[in-house]
Structure 1
Amino acid sequence: MPGYKQLPDRRIAPHGLAGQVLLQEWLIDRHGWTRSAALQFVIIAGGHHGVPPTSADIRELAIRPELLRTSDSASVWRDVQGELLDRCAKVCEVGDRFADWQAVKLSQQAQVLLTGLVIVADWIASNPDLFPYFPEGRKASDAERVAAAWRGLNLPNPWQAVDQGEEPAEFFSSRFRLPPGARVRPIQERAVQVARGMAQPGLLVIEAPMGEGKTEAALAVAEIFAARSGAGGCYVALPTMATGNAMFPRLLDWLRRIPDAEPDRGPRSVLLAHSKAALNEEYTGLVHAGRRAARGIEADGHGDQWRPRDDRRVSSAELVAHQWLRGKKKAMLASFGVGTIDQLLFMGLKSRHLALRHLALAGKVVIIDEAHAYDTYMNSYLDRVLSWLGAYRVPVVVLSATLPAGRRRELAEAYAGAAGDSAAFADLETADGYPLLTSIEPGGLPITEAVAPSSRSAEINLERLSDDLVELGNRLAEELVEGGCALVVRNTVGRVLETATYLGERFGFDRVTVAHARFLDLDRAGKDADLLARFGPPEKCAGRRPTDLHIVVASQVAEQSLDVDFDLLVSDLCPIDLLLQRMGRLHRHMRGEDQCDRPYRLRTARCLITGADWTAAPVEPVKGSRRIYRMHALLRSAAVLEPYLAGTAETGRVVRLPQDISPLVQRAYGPDPVGPEDWQEAMIRASDEQELHQREQVKKARDFQIKDVGKPGRALIGWVDAGVGDADDTRSGRAQVRDGVEGLEVFVVQRHPDGTLATVPWLSKGRGGRELPTEAVPEPGLQRIVAACGLRLPYQFSIPATLDRAIEELEAECIPAWQSKECHWLAGELILMLDEDCRTRLAGFDLHYSPANGLEVSNAG
Structure 2
Amino acid sequence: MEVRAAEGGWGKLSRDATGAAEDWLPLEHHCIDVASVFRALCELPAIYRSLCAASGQDLSTRHLDRLAVFALLHDLGKCNHGFQAKADLDAHDTAGHVREVAPLFYDEELSASFARVIEIEVLASWLAEPQDVGPLLIASLSHHGRPVEFDSHNWQAYRRYWLPDEIRNPVGAISGLVQAAHDTFPDAFTEPGDPINASMGLQHRFAGLLMLADWLGSHSEGFFPFHHQASTRAVFAREAAAQALVTVGLDVGNAREHASQHADFAQVFGFPPSPLQEALAKPSNANVLIAESDTGSGKTEAALAHFLQSFIAGEVDSLYFALPTRVAARELYERVLAFARNVFGQAGPPVLLAVPGYSAVDGEPANALPDIRHLWNDAKQTVKRERAWAAERPKRFLAAPIAVGTIDQALLSSMQVNHAHLRSVCLDRSMLVVDEVHASDTYMQGLLRSLIFHHRRIGGRALLLSATLGADARSGLLTPPDRHHVTPAADESQALAYPSITTDTGDVMAIERGVEHREKTVHLQPTASLEDLTAVIPALREAASAGARVLVILNTVSRVIAFQKAVEQDSELAQVLFSCNEKTCPHHGRYARRDRECMDAAVSLAMGKKAELAPLVLIGSQTLEQSLDIDADWLITDLCPADVLLQRIGRLQRHVRHRPAGFERARCTVLMPEDPTMGKRFDHKGRVRPLAGLGNVYPDLRIARLTAELIGNGREIVIPRDNRFVVEATTHPDHTEQFRDGPWESHRNELLAIKVAHGQTADSALIPNQPFGELRFREFNEQVQTRLGMADRRIPLEMPLTSPFGQRLDEVFVPGWMVAPGVDADVLDGPPELEESGFRFRYGGRTYRYSRLGLERVDVA
Q: Identify the TM-score tier after normalising by the shorter chain.
A: 0.7 to 0.9
Could you say which residue in structure 1 is the equivalent of 2:292? 207
- Contact 2:334 2:363 (C-alpha < 8 Å) held by counterparts: no
Q: Which residue of the partner structure matches residue 20 of structure 2?
A: none
1:553 paired residue number: 619
Match of 1:738 among 787, 793, 796: 787
- Counterpart in the other structure of 2:275: 186
Q: 1:41 aligns with which of 128, 136, 146?
A: 136
Q: Which residue of 2 aligns with 1:687?
A: 748
Q: How far apart are the structure 2 equivalents of 1:459 and 1:286?
A: 44
SS in 1 for 2:523: strand
Query: Does residue 723 of the first structure (1) align with residue 778 of the second (2)?
Result: yes
Inter-partner Cα distance in structure 1 for 2:116 and 2:786: 36
Q: Distance in 2 between matches of 1:670 and 1:685?
A: 19
- Is 1:786 the counterpart of 2:809? The answer is yes
Aligned-pair CA distance for 1:209: 0.5
Tell me which of 238, 251, 255 is aligned to 2:323.
Answer: 238
Select the residue among 216, 219, 224 that pairs with 2:309: 224
Preserved CA contact (<8 Å) 1:366 1:395: yes
Question: How far did residue 135 of structure 1 move?
Answer: 4.5
Show the counterpart of 2:38. none
**Equivalent pair of 2:223/2:244 in contact (CA under 8 Å):** no
Distance 1:167 1:333 in 2: 25
Query: For the residues of structure 2 that align with 1:281 and 1:584, how far apart are their CA atoms?
Result: 30
What is the distance in 2 between the residues matched to 1:284 and 1:80?
Answer: 46
Which structure is richer in relative contact order (CA contacts within 8 A, separation 6 or more)? 1
Matches of 1:480 and 1:346 in 2, distance apart? 46
The residue that corresponds to 1:270 in the other structure is 351
Residue of 550, 574, 587 corresponding to 1:509: 574
Match of 1:663 among 705, 709, 725: 725
Q: Which of 659, 665, 674 is the aligned partner of 1:604?
A: 665
User: What's 2:100 paired with?
Assistant: 14
Cα separation, partners in 2 of 1:23 and 1:249, compared to 1, 3 Å: farther
SS at match of 2:629: coil
Aligned mates of 1:471, 1:338 — CA distance in 2: 42
Q: Match of 1:258, SS?
A: helix
Residue type at the aligned position of 1:447: D
Shift in Å, 1:345? 0.9
Residues 426 and 118 of structure 1: CA distance in aligned 2, closer, same or farther (over 3 Å): farther
Residue 774 (structure 1) aligns with: none
Report if aligned partners of 1:51, 1:352 keep a CA contact under 8 Å in 2. yes
Residue 99 (structure 1) aligned with residue 192 (structure 2): yes
| Aligned pair partner of 1:484 in 526, 533, 548 | 548
Q: 1:706 to 1:30 in 2, by over 3 A?
A: closer
Partner of 2:855: 855
2:702 is matched with: 635
Give the unaligned 5+ runs of structure 1: 298-308, 592-596, 648-652, 726-731, 750-756, 768-784, 814-831
1:582-624 Cα distance to aligned partner (Å, 9 max, x none): 0111111111xxxxx2123211211111152236653748634
Whether the 8 Å contact between 1:286 and 1:321 is mirrored in structure 2 is: no
Partner of 2:3: none
Summarize the alignment of residues 124-203 of structure 1 with structure 2, pairs less than 5 Å apart: 124-130=216-222, 135=227, 143-144=235-236, 147=239, 154-156=247-249, 158-160=251-253, 162=256, 171-176=264-269, 184-193=273-282, 196=283, 198-199=284-285, 202-203=287-288
Correspondence for 1:457 among 509, 519, 522: 519
Deviations 1:50-80 (A, max 9, x none): 23334x657876x89966865999xx98777
Q: Is 1:384 matched with 2:385?
A: no
Report percent identity of matched pairs. 23
Tell me: CA distance 1:47–1:31, structure 2 relative to 1, closer, same or farther (3 Å).
closer
Going from structure 1 to structure 2, the CA distance change for 1:590 and 1:319 (only over 3 Å counts) comes to: farther
Matched, 1:570 2:636: yes
Partner residue in 2 for 1:752: none
Q: Which AA in structure 1 matches 2:209?
A: L
Q: What is the CA distance between 1:553 and its match in structure 2?
A: 0.9
Q: Which residue of 2 is the match for residue 52 of structure 1?
A: 147
Give the deviation of 1:474 after TM superposition: 2.6
Tell me: CA distance 1:623–1:420, structure 2 relative to 1, closer, same or farther (3 Å): closer
Matches within 5 A, 1:695-710: 695-708=756-769
1:760 aligns with 2:802: yes
Q: What's the CA shift for 1:578? A: 0.9
TM-score (norm 1): 0.76
Post-superposition shift, 1:681?
3.9
Cα deviation, residue 563, structure 1: 1.1
- 2:650 is aligned, of 574, 578, 584, to 584
- Post-superposition offset of 1:8: 11
- Tell me, what secondary structure is at the counterpart of 1:205? strand
CA change 1:691–1:32 in 2 (3 A) is: closer
Are the equivalent residues in 2 in contact too, given 1:290–1:320 (CA < 8 A)?
A: no
State the AA in 1 paired with 2:429.
G
* Structure 2 residue aligned with 1:447: 507
Residue in 1 aligned with 2:65?
none
Contact persistence 2:443–2:787 (CA under 8 A) = yes
Cα pair distance change 1:163/1:609, threshold 3 Å: farther
Give the distance between the partners of 1:481 and 1:841, measured in 2 at CA. Answer: 40
Question: Which deviations, in whole Å up to 9, do the C-alpha atoms of 1:181-203 show, x marking residues without a partner?
Answer: xx53222222223xx1x23x511
Deviation track 1:335-374 (CA, whole Å, cap 9, x = no partner) reads 1211111111111211232221112211221111111111
Correspondence for 1:433? 497
1:683 positional shift: 3.5
Distance 1:666 1:132, change over 3 A: closer
Q: Does 1:361 align with 2:361?
A: no
1:352 aligns with 2:418: yes
Question: How far apart, CA to CA, are the structure 1 residues paired with 2:596 and 2:549?
Answer: 21
TM-aligned CA deviation for residue 207 of structure 1 = 0.8
Task: Tell me how far 1:693 sits from its aligned partner.
Answer: 1.1
Determine whether 1:121 maps to 2:213.
yes
3-state secondary structure, aligned to 1:608: strand
| Gap change, CA 1:743 and 1:250, over 3 Å in 2 | same
The separation in 2 between residues aligned to 1:166 and 1:129, in whole angstroms, is 34
Give the distance between the partners of 1:167 and 1:458, measured in 2 at CA. Answer: 38
| CA separation of 1:228 and 1:474: change in aligned 2, threshold 3 A | same
Question: Cα offset for 1:254?
Answer: 0.8
Partner SS state of residue 474, structure 1: helix
Structure 1 residues 2 and 419: alpha-carbon distance in aligned structure 2, compared to 1, 3 A threshold:
closer
- Indicate the SS of the match to 1:113: helix
Which letter does structure 1 place at the counterpart of 2:577? V
Q: Is the 8 A contact 1:362 1:389 kept in 2?
A: yes
Indicate how the Cα distance of structure 1 residues 671 and 166 shifts in structure 2: closer, same or farther if over 3 A, else same.
same
Aligned length: 743
Per the TM alignment, residue 668 of structure 1 is displaced from its structure 2 partner at its CA by 2.1
Q: 2:711 aligns with which of 631, 634, 644?
A: 644
Alpha-carbon contact 1:747-1:786 (below 8 Å) kept: no
Does the C-alpha gap of structure 1 residues 115 and 425 become closer, same or farther in structure 2, counting only changes over 3 Å? Answer: farther
Whether the 8 Å CA contact 2:268–2:342 is kept in 1: the answer is: yes
CA contact (8 A) 1:845 1:860 kept: no
In structure 1, C-alpha distance between the alignment counterparts of 2:518 and 2:568, rounded to whole Å: 35
The CA deviation at 1:527 is 1.9
> Would the alpha carbon gap of residues 664 and 524 (structure 1) be closer, same or farther in structure 2, given more than 3 Å must change?
same
